[in-house]
Structure 1
Amino acid sequence: MHIPDGFLDPLVAGLFWLGSAVTIGLAVRYARSELGDERTPLLGVVAAGIFAAQMLNWPIPGGTSAHFVGGAFAGILLGPSLGVLAMTAVVTIQALVFGDGGIIALGGNLFAIAVVNVLIGYGLFRMFREIHESGAAFIAGWAAVTLSALIVALGVGFSSAFAYEIGTTVTIMTGGHAVLGIIEGAITAGVYTYIAAARPDLVFTQFENSNLSPDVKL
């Protein structure tokens, strides 16, 4: 899903940077106010796990790649603000250290993976969790990765620098990641169900509407 440099027009890249900067800035502002400092260590643990999972990539037609994303899981477990920050750290380190995604295109990758993926996943989980928690986690994982791929497809499709037109990019990216999303949804649901049963104190959505602060012991 990571966009290399040279695939985005300057205007498109700039708009992605603007959207990412605003959202990440708000996440920094609200992260501590959500639940205090108690959950900060968990951010690093989640980010490290997702980072390792994202290193498994396979190419798909059109010049990009598919891989486990994990943003929906980060949003469910950490909450929207810390989830955005965790994924921001993952995507930035991948670009700067491992060359996974371009530097100019980093704003686009952040917007798709650290913003859209986290917030869509978190929102859908909250929407459907009262019906069935594991099912809600599956929907969140599947829809989040599919919509993130759509954002990437629109960005490169609208860019004249990219060799394929928007019809091709949307079909290939969303189609490929919709299939991947089934696996991502299953993993998200499975890991969430296990953690919610074994350590419910770690799950943001278990206590977000209460006045209690979680006792996080890693």
Structure 2
Amino acid sequence: MHVPDGFINAPVSVAAGVVAAGAVAVSLRGARRELDERAAPLAGLVAAFIFAVQMLNFPVATGTSGHLLGGALAAILVGPYTGVLCVAVVLLMQGILFADGGLTALGVNITVMGVVTVVVAYGLFRGLVLVLPRTRRSVTVASFVAALVSVPASAAAFTLVYAIGGTTDVPLGKVFVAMVGVHTLIGIGEAAITMLTVGAVVAVRPDLVYGARGLTTPLKLRVNGELVDAAPARDFAPVAARSPKKFWLGGLAAALVLAGFVSFYASASPDGLEKVAADKGFDKNVEEHDAAGSPLADYGVKGIEAARLSGGLAGVIGVGATLAVGTGAFWMVRRRRTESTGAQV
């Protein structure tokens, strides 16, 4: 759902940029509470993983495809504030390096694809976790529902932005129905990817999942008719004490394989926004991307004729660049938290 330059007029694009900048500023402050010594490196990996999975467009209807937005996944894995930052990093790298999503529309994209998806998904996720049994399965079920709802919510948010600042005269009712309809189908794919990913992480390292914290309760023993907490086993280190290094390396390997190899088999059909824009006629004012001349534009490396090699290499570069920028940014946020904590002490 990357909005290109030309869909939204300049005043509304600027206003969306202000909203996005404000959301990023608030998230930078909030992320200091979410990023501990384990979550900081994981956040960079989550951004890189979202970048990789977004390259995997999947068919949802005749001539239409969709891809992961990632807001729900990021919020559940590393927290809502950090989740907004993860999606913002991905969108920034896509816009600058790959000419995907307009640069003047960056504020619109961060607001619609990042802020809206995170707020809707995490709010719904927390509500479901509170009412469902406190089990790991509840986390995966809640992640499915939250991700499913977040995508059409994002589509509705785009329609609202277009209603205010659209550059073509198109019946908004038809745009709304088409956008929400196709993105509900895309939401099913988003929900499946989110549920499977969250479920896999919860299965091996539940301590690393922000949305699953507090689910583990101490074992109870009945002593003299009263329930007391059992002493932890001394022979085994608790899960939280394990280094996340192996998990991090495994996640990075998965992202590289997805972006460097599996992405070649992604659907070539236009995504939901592109398809609706073409069908309803509001793609007439699309402008050429300012980074159209980038060596990595359109997810290929210029000068390499072999499509498989060109696309795969571009994907690997994108994962590496997103990981580096994201990890660096989150490390700085983590450092600010440490300095702030030290100053208070």
Comparing 29-38 and 86-95, the one that deviates more: 29-38
Structure 2 residue 175 is the aligned partner of structure 1 residue 169? yes
Structure 2 residue 67 is the aligned partner of structure 1 residue 42? no
Residues 156, 169 of structure 1: 8 Å contact kept: no
Q: 1:69: which partner in 2?
A: 69
Q: Which amino acid aligns with 1:40?
A: A
Q: Deviations over 1:157-198 (max 9, x none)?
A: 333413533212211111111011112112211221221121
Q: Deviations over 1:80-113 (max 9, x none)?
A: 1111111110011111111111011110000011
Q: Pick closer, same or farther for the CA change 1:159–1:119 going to 2, 3 Å.
A: same
Q: Pick closer, same or farther for the CA change 1:109–1:123 going to 2, 3 Å.
A: same
Q: Which amino acid aligns with 1:200?
A: P
Q: Pick closer, same or farther for the CA change 1:58–1:205 going to 2, 3 Å.
A: closer
Structure showing greater radius of gyration is 2
Q: Which amino acid aligns with 1:137?
A: S
Q: Structure 1: which 5+ runs fail to align?
A: none
State TM-score, norm by structure 1: 0.88
Residues 4, 101 of structure 1: 8 Å contact kept: yes
Residues 117, 154 of structure 2: 8 Å contact kept: yes
Within-5 A mapping of 1:7-26: 7-26=7-26
Provide the aligned length of Structure 1 versus Structure 2. Answer: 213
Q: 1:126: which partner in 2?
A: 126
Q: 1:180: which partner in 2?
A: 186
Structure 2 residue 200 is the aligned partner of structure 1 residue 194? yes
Q: Which amino acid aligns with 2:114?
A: A
Q: Which is helix-richer, 1 or 2? A: 1
Q: 2:164: which partner in 1?
A: 158
Residues 158, 166 of structure 1: 8 Å contact kept: no
Instruction: Give the match's secondary structure for 2:86.
Output: helix
Cα distance in 2 for partners of 1:65, 1:173 equals 13
Q: Deviations over 1:7-47 (max 9, x none)?
A: 10222212211211111101111212234343111111111
Q: Pick closer, same or farther for the CA change 1:58–1:153 going to 2, 3 Å.
A: farther
Q: Deviations over 1:139-171 (max 9, x none)?
A: 111111111111112212333413533212211
Residues 158, 165 of structure 1: 8 Å contact kept: no
Q: 1:85: which partner in 2?
A: 85
Q: Pick closer, same or farther for the CA change 1:59–1:199 going to 2, 3 Å.
A: closer
Q: Give me the CA root mean square deviation.
A: 2.4
1:144 to 130, 150, 170: 150
